């Protein structure tokens, strides 16, 4: 269904019901609601860090930050040939960031931005919107650190919207709409805060993965 103007408050209400807006292209002013029959999620204990990724994190100066450069993350997520982030969504994400409901998670290698993820939060639910890489393993590293951080902060749900082969290889799974809405209803009541804990360091990521592998 095509939409008119969508406010940040309406977006939050929609996410809490299990739906979200998208645009066909970056230049299309129209938005439409999306309510997938199958939903992708990351089990917060189920992120798969491969041997090659372990070596990468261990052998490079990989660090992670929260909300250190939101505008850069949003820019890079939208800076691609095909994107659903139009000017209306860009504005809303920026306003939701100011309201404390939208967050960026960055990873850095030797002090340079390597990749990142941004998404919305309601209670103990994190709704992943988009990610990017500026170098090898950029988005993978961001997801590894973010998943651990959400777990540390007491989150109950990491929503990836859709499942892809890439996300599935990292531990994401696909569930039904009904199962998702059941998890969502519980997660949004959890009094979690993404800023309640320090961002994990590389050593904690490697130790956690060794314990669960």
Average pLDDT of every residue of the chain:
92
- The confidence band for 177, taking pLDDT boundaries of 50, 70 and 90, is very high
Question: Are 86 and 132 spatial neighbours (Cβ–Cβ below 8 Å)?
Answer: no
How many Å apart are CA 171 and CA 190, to the nearest integer?
23
**pLDDT of 143 above 80:** yes
- Order across the sheet with 2-3: list the strands: 2-3, 31-34, 20-22
Whole-prediction pTM value?
0.93
Q: Of 126, 89, 91, which Cα lies nearest the Cα of 105?
A: 126
Summarize pLDDT for 82-140 with one digit per residue, the tens.
899 999 999 999 999 999 999 999 999 988 999 999 999 999 999 999 999 999 999 99
- The confidence band for 4, taking pLDDT boundaries of 50, 70 and 90, is low
Long-range contact set of residues 133-138: C-beta below 8 Å, sequence gap at least 24: 134/76, 135/109, 136/56, 137/53, 137/56, 138/107, 138/114
Cβ contacts of residue 79 below 8 Å, gap of 6+? 132
């Amino acid at each position: 269904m095509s939409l008119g103007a969508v406010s940040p408050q309406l977006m939050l209400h929609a996410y809490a019901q299990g739906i979200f807006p998208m645009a066909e292209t970056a230049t299309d002013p129209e938005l439409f609601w999306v309510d997938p029959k199958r939903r992708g999620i990351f089990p917060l204990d189920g992120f798969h860090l491969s041997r090659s990724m372990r070596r990468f994190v261990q052998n490079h100066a990989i660090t992670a930050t929260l909300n250190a450069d939101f505008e850069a993350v949003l820019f890079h997520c939208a800076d691609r040939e095909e994107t659903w982030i139009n000017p209306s969504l860009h504005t809303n994400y920026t306003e939701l960031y100011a309201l404390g409901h939208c967050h960026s998670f960055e990873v850095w290698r030797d002090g340079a931005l390597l990749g990142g993820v941004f998404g919305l939060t309601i209670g103990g639910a994190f709704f992943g919107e988009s990610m990017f890489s500026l170098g090898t393993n950029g988005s993978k590293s961001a997801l590894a650190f973010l998943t651990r951080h959400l777990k540390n902060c007491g989150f109950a749900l990491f929503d990836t919207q859709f499942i892809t082969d890439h996300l599935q290889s990292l531990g994401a799974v696909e569930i039904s709409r009904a199962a998702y809405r059941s998890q969502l209803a519980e997660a949004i009541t959890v009094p979690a805060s993404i800023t309640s804990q320090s961002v994990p360091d590389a050593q904690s990521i490697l130790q956690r993965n060794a314990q669960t592998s």
